[in-house]
Structure 1
């Protein structure tokens, strides 16, 4: 007997076999039981989620006559009657499937319209299944409209498409629409595990996870990959076999590469890339995997208790550790650089060289933003020491960074010392006559943390979000070290303008307590202290 691929052999035959489409199944179950079955359906979703399969199951449910030949329409077709068997084997005279991708014209639709006038030959209803319906021409859609709106009582239309936006709204308004969801990772792995048991094949858990991730929510894609891995593994499917077949690297290897890259370990990252290249891993897949890791780590960064079913326990533990160690700013910039790097790798004549250059830039980003290897190991200890001693965190990482950069780039001659406080930064912009930025620093900026090479600012509503770029660029140019200016949601200090206003109020209160000022205020009712200025008194010395 000729071999049947797994995607066809294990195609669902009833709604109970259909995975991940609970809303569709519940709606159709109620429609069958209440006798409220529509005359036209449109099924949409990505490839391999069960659109054509669902259409055939609906056709079987409409025309099933039961094992005794006396049954009616049902949500649970028997699968053994003449109509069910003929529909499953795609040979039923009253259930016609048309591929709109190859039959797109109005003449093809006219054939359907001519057949609609006649009653079914053996079944209760004629069912027309049109796959990839979005490929029909405009004239073909227009020819279908009238019949689709008022079809004969014994005719049903079922459309399937992956491009629902290309279907005219006039057609959609005449149909009941069902959006089939991507299958969850849990559903896919359970399906693969069940198929392996029936095929007497053993498979590792990590291999199931890798196949489920590669399937990307498509049961057909996943079963095709499983079929291929069975042929490759000879009865025992391991994670290494699946990774080698897919051309992917081990996810743990990608996590190690990401950690080396973000910690500034350039030599280790390049060596690992070379080993992956020798193993035949596609450079583009490496960049895509790194993007997935950045996305995963960022999710754990913003939501430490995030539950991710599609990853192994090792990946989850490693991602949580990296999320605690890498600042959000660096994760965001790494995402942007890797996203742009995809186009570079795709268009380069030497994709691996482009990948190496991309990695070098990301490593430089890590060194530029923060000496991450030092930060990762000391950040927690420094916070604990600061809490116990009541002192501010020592800017050891910034000092190390400034010391490293100053060896190659000289500071601006007009700047004697590297600024380590917000006031010093404001003075620099005043000295350099950057009036607009200087005014913004005084009026709107609330500093959260300032050290050599780093300034964190509270993200307030009235602050210009584009201000951080020019500040960092100018400070880098003037001081000779890279500066990272970040907007954070932590509360900061008062603005300098607010501090000056507070100092002025305090000075006025002190002035009121002066005996001379107090006497004047009491002698002239209604008098107020308008301002307080220091008077420099000069005494002449006698020779």
Structure 2
């Protein structure tokens, strides 16, 4: 005996369709727009055309359908008017939700781009709605209409009949003519935060009877990049993956989505693995870096994902060094501690070089026919080029007549120090030189750019004011380095000093002032003045010391 057609199971609906918002309350992350629409409906100040813009999957088309419901809802008793909370059970609400309302016309501009399609709309708007309060036209991806189609629509869009409303949706608002934008009330739908998406997904898996680790939902939310639809598609795939794995592994009746399964499914690298790789890069262990890159590739991690992970770490370290607190819910305690340690050990200059080299490596891997090999070359370039001395250190070495030492400037391990001196350097400048000579590059870089000395003593005292926020533990790290190098017990403090003691500029500020003074002096030379008057568009882009003195002689 076969089942009758009526007893056949209903066709499965993907989560992105099943959980499409059916009310403004279910529309996540767009509170400002909902409030504006609610006030407009209550006060009877309804625009004749609305434009929703934003990235994919944030709810543009859903919002357009909700507006259509809000304007045409008649309530449970059939006597209601426009409302920000449509009932969802009256005939107009149900017909609009099912896409069958005769007075709510949806059109995809990608397949109806011509002026003839718009002409049909212009002809139809003259007739009143058949059964609804308003005749509503929803045009998705409106930016794909042709120029002639836009021009044909302008007059009708500016002065449509009172019973007609236009609702436009687009992902590329910059392609919509200004003449159209000026005739619409525009709503910019924001990307949905990863935290809100994770909460939304948690509610959905509960309704679906699925168990999911919070870490797994956070990974899916981050991979969605602010798009609810993308996130639901990934969640759908993760649940299917979990059902197969769960049945084979433990026989549980309920599927369980785990973070490891999601990482495997998406080909994402473990954040801990990326941190370990970053640590190996800083330590200069070439063989270990290449081996780990190959191991991650064998596990299914894409090389581009690793490069992006390293870029995220460099950005996070730089932001932490600048004093910004991280609010990433996916960051573990261990990750935050590692970022704080690197922020205190690395200078801004090495971090900027790391970022630029990773950015170049990202471009190479994207366009490479052999991504793994391109990633290996990028990491090797990162380790060797980033470990070169800073220009200031290179100039100092050349001035002293020494060779360039290829030391791992980026290394997070303590650098070898010279034999302790009997006393402290005579001047603040000599103290900074001593830090550079003893390979304390990160500390020396921060001292040059952030320390304004108030009082300095050759007996081992430094009182200073920070020119910009210094990282946590900076004072202790500076004191420890000076103690180790000089053999003295230093007193390093932050303060204003006594009356009459004023902070001096940082060494970088002094260098900038000297360079500006040198350029000003060059500009005052008669021959340069004459040249600039003759060629007013000319620029003085640099000062060569040898040329300056020979010219002035």
TM-score (norm 2): 0.70
Structure 1 residue aligned with 2:238: 229
Q: Is 1:207 the counterpart of 2:224 in the alignment?
A: no
Q: CA 1:401 to 1:53, structure 2 compared with 1: closer, same or farther past 3 Å?
A: closer
Asked if 1 retains the 8 angstrom alpha-carbon contact of 2:140 and 2:169, the reply is yes
Structure 2 residue aligned with 1:314: 334
The Cα shift of 1:36 comes to 0.5
Instruction: Decide which moves more: 94-103 or 263-272.
Output: 263-272
Structure 1 residue aligned with 2:290: 270
Counterparts of 2:47 and 2:439 in 1: how far apart (Å)? 71
> 5+ residue gaps in structure 1?
403-421, 423-450, 468-543
The Cα shift of 1:268 comes to 2.0
Counterparts of 2:295 and 2:411 in 1: how far apart (Å)? 27
Q: Is 1:18 the counterpart of 2:27 in the alignment?
A: yes
Q: Is 1:253 the counterpart of 2:273 in the alignment?
A: yes
> In structure 2, which of residues 339, 343, 349 is the aligned counterpart of residue 323 of structure 1?
343
Structure 2 residue aligned with 1:126: 135
Counterparts of 1:9 and 1:164 in 2: how far apart (Å)? 28
Q: CA 1:214 to 1:379, structure 2 compared with 1: closer, same or farther past 3 Å?
A: farther
Structure 1 residue aligned with 2:61: 52
Counterparts of 2:423 and 2:180 in 1: how far apart (Å)? 67
Q: CA 1:310 to 1:147, structure 2 compared with 1: closer, same or farther past 3 Å?
A: farther
Counterparts of 1:337 and 1:20 in 2: how far apart (Å)? 36
Structure 2 residue aligned with 1:483: none
TM-score (norm 1): 0.71
Asked if 2 retains the 8 angstrom alpha-carbon contact of 1:209 and 1:311, the reply is no
Q: CA 1:456 to 1:394, structure 2 compared with 1: closer, same or farther past 3 Å?
A: closer
- After superposition, where does 1:31-110 map in structure 2 within 5 Å? 31-110=40-119
**Cα RMSD over matched residues?**
3.0
Q: CA 1:372 to 1:206, structure 2 compared with 1: closer, same or farther past 3 Å?
A: farther
Instruction: Decide which moves more: 357-366 or 118-127.
Output: 357-366
Structure 2 residue aligned with 1:371: 408
Secondary structure (helix, strand or coil) at the match of 2:29 reads: coil
Structure 2 residue aligned with 1:177: 186
Structure 1 residue aligned with 2:259: 239
Q: Is 1:284 the counterpart of 2:304 in the alignment?
A: yes
The Cα shift of 1:309 comes to 3.7
The Cα shift of 1:343 comes to 2.0
The Cα shift of 1:305 comes to 3.1
- After superposition, where does 1:327-342 map in structure 2 within 5 Å? 327-342=347-362
Structure 2 residue aligned with 1:350: 370
Counterparts of 2:242 and 2:37 in 1: how far apart (Å)? 41
Asked if 1 retains the 8 angstrom alpha-carbon contact of 2:353 and 2:386, the reply is no
Aligned residues: 413
Asked if 1 retains the 8 angstrom alpha-carbon contact of 2:195 and 2:218, the reply is no
Q: CA 1:139 to 1:230, structure 2 compared with 1: closer, same or farther past 3 Å?
A: same
> 5+ residue gaps in structure 2?
1-9, 244-254, 390-406, 442-447, 449-481, 483-505, 519-553
Counterparts of 1:147 and 1:103 in 2: how far apart (Å)? 18
The Cα shift of 1:312 comes to 3.6
In terms of Rg, which structure is larger? Answer: 1
